Amino acid sequence: MADSPLPPVESPPPMTHTRADAWALVSEFVQSDSLRKHMLAVEASMRYYAEQLGGDVEYWGIAGLIHDFDYEQYPTLDQHVWVGSRILAERGWPADLIRTVQSHANYMGVPRAKLVDRALFACDELSGFVTAVAYVRPNHSLAEVEPRSVIKKMKDKAFARAVSREDMEQGALELGLPLATHVAHIIAALQRVAPTLGL
């Protein structure tokens, strides 16, 4: 997939759900402050990339905001995203949006055929990793985070051990970007919402 050209930006399906509906879903299923902040971080990154790539900012943002809404209650590989997909479908969320959410989990086997799919995969792990780097800066601030420091931390296997380095690198490839450029974009996106993230 790394060598394939970027898919065209597609118009999103008609949305009957709003960002407020997405946040209500998150609030219903997620009590963990850190998980909520992760989802807000991915939302910010998705909105940033929608602006950069010509996507629908609201649609891409909602995809980022809800992508892990079921994780706290259904964290195992045989539940996470599977259960969430069923809940979204039962509540009338668009099938295309559900498929995008599914595509961020490699184990579901859903091809990332659309640009929004690739962006969600690319933003997910790296948004969390950049946040983790900010937490260990002297002032716990995103303003102190630079691409080179993030890439250096990626080489430290003991740091944020649960975050897949392969997925972060693959995400950049799927967007056709050098890793350092992708990291810079994520930092810029998260700096916009730094107060919300407590960073």
CATH number at residue 42: 1.10.3210
Global pTM value: 0.92
Distance (Å, whole) CA 188 – CA 146:
10
* Model pLDDT for residues 112-145, shown as the tens digit of each residue: 999 999 999 999 999 999 999 999 988 889 999 9
Residue 125 structural domain: 19-197
- Is 167 part of any domain? yes
pLDDT confidence band for 162 (50 / 70 / 90): confident
160: left (phi > 0), else alpha (psi -120 to 50), else beta?
A: left
Domain total in the chain: 1
58-71 residue pLDDT tens? 999 999 999 999 99
Q: How many helices (H) and strands (E) does the chain have?
A: 10, 0
In a domain, 1, yes or no: no
